Amino acid sequence: DDSFAAARDIMNEKEIKPVSPLLGVASSVFDPYMGPYIKLEEQNMDEQLNESRADDAVDTRGELPVFTSSTALFVYIKNSITRCTVLTQGKTFFALYMAFKDTLRKYASVLEDKFPQALNITGAAIGGININVNVASLPSSFGGRVDSRDSSSGVARVVNIPPGEEVTVCHVIDTCEYCADTVEALEDLIRDKIHEKLKEKIDMSEEQETFHDVTAKGIRVLVSGLEQRIEPALKEISKKDWGSLDV
C-alpha cells in the first residue's frame, strides 16, 4: 500500500506533458505514394471543366445569378478537402491545394471563352466620326489590366455582341465575382485544416486576381458591344441638319 501511495504522490507532483495527437501519424507514411490519388482528383475536376464549357445553366437562388458550373466546382472542391483531410493534412493535402489552384485558373479561362470574340481595328467609327483608340493609353483603372496583345499593337478591340448575348456577358461577370469571393473563403478553409508547417505557403490571391481580370474584361466587352449597337443611331444623328430645325 505504501508503495502505491508513493507512486501516486510522485505522479501528482510530476508535470504531465501533453501527448501529441496520433491522428494522421500512420496515414502520413503513405504521403509519398498518394500521387495517383491526386491525379484522380485532377481528372475529375478536368471533366467538370470540360462539361462547363458547353453548360450555360444559371443558378438564380443566390445574391447573384451565376453559372451552376461554378457552384458545382466549389462543392466538389469542398468534398475533396473532406476526403483528403480524413487521411492526411500534410504533403498530400498541399499537393491537392496546388491542383485546386490550377483548376481555378482553368475555370477562369473557361468563363473568359464565353465572351463574344473581339475584332481588331485601328480605329472606331462612332457617329460617323473616325476615332483612333490606342488601348495602351487607357488607364488600368478602366477595366483592369490591359491585355498585352492589345498594348503591344496599340490596336483597339471592338466587340459585336449578338442580341441576347449581353445577358451571358453579365452572367460571366457575376460568376467571376462569386468565384473571387469564394476563393478567399476557400483559402481560409485550407489554411485552417492543413498541417501547421504548411500554413504559410497557402496563398490564392493570384487565382482571385485572375477572376477579377476576367470581370474587368467582361465590362470592357459589354461597353464595346453596346457602343457598336448604338453606332447606327449615332450616325443618323450626325447626318441630321440640326440648323434647319425650328426651335
Residue 34: what pLDDT?
82
Residue 188: what pLDDT?
96
Asked if 200 and 92 count as a contact pair (C-beta separation under 8 A), the reply is no
Mean pLDDT in residue range 60-89: 93
Statement: residue 183 has pLDDT above 60: yes
Statement: residue 14 has pLDDT above 80: no
Asked if 168 and 56 count as a contact pair (C-beta separation under 8 A), the reply is yes
Say how far apart CA 108 and CA 189 lie, in whole Å. 21
Mean pLDDT in residue range 177-190: 96
For residues 231, 236, 241, 243, the Cα torsion angle rounded to the nearest 10 degrees is -50
Local confidence band at 27 (pLDDT 50, 70, 90 cut-offs): low
Q: Using N-to-C axis directions, what is the helix angle for 68-87 and 91-112, rounded to 10°?
A: 170
* pLDDT tens digits for range 113-160: 999 886 655 444 433 333 333 444 333 433 433 343 444 455 556 777
* pLDDT tens digits for range 31-43: 777 889 999 999 9
- Average pLDDT value over all residues in the chain: 79
Residue 123: what pLDDT?
47
Residue 180: what pLDDT?
97
Residue 237: what pLDDT?
82
Asked if 114 and 168 count as a contact pair (C-beta separation under 8 A), the reply is yes
Question: What is the amino acid identity at position 58?
Answer: V
Say how far apart CA 158 and CA 148 lie, in whole Å. 16
DSSP-derived letter for residue 144 is S
Statement: residue 70 has pLDDT above 90: yes
Statement: residue 15 has pLDDT above 90: no
Say how far apart CA 157 and CA 187 lie, in whole Å. 35
Task: Note the pTM of the prediction, 2 decimals.
Answer: 0.73
